[in-house]
Amino acid sequence: MRQVSLREFRTRGSKALKSTPVGETILLAGRNGPEYFLVPVLEDIATQDRELRRAIAKASLRRNWELARRFGADAITDAEIDAEISEVRAARPRRKSK
């Protein structure tokens, strides 16, 4: 995988693409680290799409774990979660049954 800065890609994007071997993924990195992946389309797009969605989901999960750690939500017990869910459900107005 080749890493290219966002600034370089903005100014010389076509040169960066031409100098990368066919089929290699490019990681575009900004000031705060990795920002984007440029993934070449090869063979079966459906398989690549599934793998790309899985990678995006994992990255999102990691980001949410980090937010939970930062705000202390990673220390909540299952009992506390169940209690909070019960409180919200109890506060919601019930729908009338027909």
Give the pTM: 0.42
pLDDT confidence of residue 85 = 93
Give the residue-averaged pLDDT of 5-12.
87
Using CA atoms, how far residue 28 sits from 3, 6, 71, 75, 81, in Å, is 6, 6, 29, 34, 38
Q: What H or E segment, with its residue span, contains residue 34?
A: strand 33-38
What are the pLDDT digits (tens) for 20-35?
777 788 888 888 777 7
Nearest CA-CA partner of 1 in 29, 24, 31: 24
Give the residue-averaged pLDDT of 3-23.
83
What are the pLDDT digits (tens) for 54-94?
888 888 888 888 898 898 888 888 999 999 999 999 998 87
